Amino acid sequence: MNYPNNPNKQNLEAFQGLVELERKERNLKFQQSYFKAYVLSAILPPIGIYYLIKFCFFSNGTDEDIKAGVISLIITIVSLFFSIWFFAVLFKQTTSKIPEKNLDIIKEMITPENQKKYKELFQ
């Protein structure tokens, strides 16, 4: 018989509601963890390798975890590429302002034979 005020049915619905709430909370926590991994992979490129290993080998092994690990690695590679490119451009700009004559003088100063002469001169 189906009673409208059946306590077992109410308990079962409450339990199902709590399970659903816990599942959604866990998914939200994982999403926040993935977002943190993405941001850190972009800001500090080598950290994406850590998240790849963490999500692919030391987590539940779900498709979402593996996907997050691979995305972290891709973000790391792209961020590393842009960092290297940026510093190469920056270095090129700073050295291009030095006149060629002064650059030749600096090259002469760093040769080992001339370093010995300068060392003797300063002593």
Q: What is the pLDDT of residues 75-105, one digit of tens each?
A: 999 999 999 999 888 888 776 666 666 667 7
Cα within 13 Å of Cα(1), Cβ side: 4
Residue ranges of the chain with per-residue pLDDT less than 70: 1-9, 28, 95-103
| 80-83 contacts, C-beta under 8 A, 24 or more apart | 80/45, 80/46, 83/45
Its pTM stands at 0.58
Alpha helices in the chain (DSSP H): 7-43, 47-57, 63-96, 100-109, 112-122
CA dist 48 and 30 (Å) reads 16
